Amino acid sequence: MLQALSHPARSDPAIEHGGDLATARRNFPDAPEPWIDLSTGINPRPYPFGSLPAACFERLPEPGALAALERVAAMTYGAVGVVAAPGAQALIQILPRILSGRRVGILGPTYAEHAAAWRRAGRDVVDCASPDELAACDIGVLVNPNNPDGRIVATDELERLARRTVLVIDESFADFSPEMSLASAAPLCGAIVLRSFGKAYGLAGIRLGFAIAGRAVEQRLREELGPWAVSGIAVEIGRRALADAAWRDAARENLAADATRLDAVLTRAGLRIVGGTSLFRLAKSPRAQAIGDALGGAGVHVRRFAARPDLLRFGLPPSGAWPRLERVLRAADGSAA
C-alpha cells in the first residue's frame, strides 16, 4: 500500500479554478469594482477569529500547539489518526508519493487536481462513472459531496468499497453534512479521508486541511510534511474555530437559508438547478455563456466549465452582493433593464 518511489513528472494542461479575479478583470476590463467573486465554494461569512497573539507571527509553531489542533479536529470530525496539513490540496499532491498502485480510478466528473496529481506521478488514471468501477482499480478516488454537482455516495457503500480498494475520499465540502462523512470509520476500514478547513470557515487564505487515516498512512504523511508544515496562524485560528460548535451550528442554518434564496434567484432567471451543496449551486441553461458574460461585465465572477458550456457554478453571495446579482440576472433574462 505504501511506497517511497518517485516518478518523473508529466506536464498537464493548465487547470482552471475558481477565484481567479485577475483573469476575470482582464476579460472584462470595464466591469465595476469591487468584483463579487462567486466562483468558489467558500463560506461568505468567515469565522470571527479575533485578535492573535504575537507569537503566532514571531515564533515557529510549537509541537504541542499542533497536537492540540489535531486533537480538536479529531473531536470535531469524530475520528482518530488526524494529520494537519497546509490545505487539502497539499495532501492531494502528497498521496501519490506514499501510496502504491498503478491503476487509479477517479469518480468523475470532479475536482481536476486529483487526476492531475496521479498523472504527474506516472500512474494510469481511469475515469470512472460509478463507485463500483473504482473497485477494479488499485486506488479509488472520489469527492464526497462532489464538486461541482454535489453528488453524495452513501457511507455504507463507501465502507464496502474501502474493503475492495485503497479508497481516498475528499470531504472538502462535508463540514455541514456530517451524516455523510466516513471520517469516524476511515482508519478501521482502510479509507483515507481529506478535509478542508478554509471552505466551511470562510478562511481559505490561511491554508489548513486534514487527513484522517490508519496508522501507517498517518506516519508517512507526517514524514512527507516534515516539521512546521502548518503556520502558527493556521494552528491558532483552526483550534479556535474547530472547537466552536455553536458557530458551526449557526453557520449551517445561515448557509441553508442562503442556498434556498440562491435557488430562487437563479430559477427566476431561467437557470435550472442541477446540483450543489450548502456552499455552492450548479445551474444549467442553454444561455449559460451569455449569462456568464453579462455577470462578468457587471463585475460578478462565476465558475464556468470549458467542457460543459451549459453549466455555471455559483457560490453564495455575501450579504451586500445580492442586489447586484439579482439585477444582472434579471437583465440577462430579458425581464428587466
Environment class of residue 167 by beta-carbon count within 10 Å: exposed (0-12), middle (13-18) or buried (19+)? buried
Give this prediction's pTM: 0.93
198: helix, strand or coil: helix
pLDDT, tens only, 210-224: 999 999 999 999 999
**How many structural domains compose the chain?**
2
What percentage of the chain has pLDDT greater than the value 90? 92
Q: Both 59 and 188 in a single domain? A: yes
Predicted pLDDT at 94 = 98
pLDDT category, 9, cuts 50, 70, 90?
Answer: very low
User: Which one, of 257, 251, 268, 238, lies nearest residue 328 by Cα?
Assistant: 268
Q: Both 212 and 260 in a single domain? A: no
Q: Both 76 and 220 in a single domain? A: yes
In angstroms, what CA-CA distances link 292 with 4, 195, 288, 329? Answer: 45, 30, 6, 10
Summarize the confidence of residues 95-108 as an average pLDDT. Answer: 97
Summarize the confidence of residues 93-109 as an average pLDDT. Answer: 97
End-to-end CA distance of the chain: 60
Distance of alpha carbon 268 from the chain centroid: 28
For residues 202 and 44, give the distance between their C-alpha atoms in angstroms, rounded to a whole number. 6
Predicted pLDDT at 315 = 98
CATH number, domain with residue 72: 3.40.640.10
Q: Both 206 and 70 in a single domain? A: yes
Q: Both 236 and 251 in a single domain? A: no
Q: Which of 243, 259, 275 is the last residue of a domain?
A: 243
Domain extent at residue 298: 21-41+246-333
Predicted pLDDT at 336 = 39
Residue 119 lies in a domain: yes
Q: Both 328 and 308 in a single domain? A: yes
Q: Both 82 and 188 in a single domain? A: yes
Contact of 88 with 196, CB cutoff 8 Å: yes
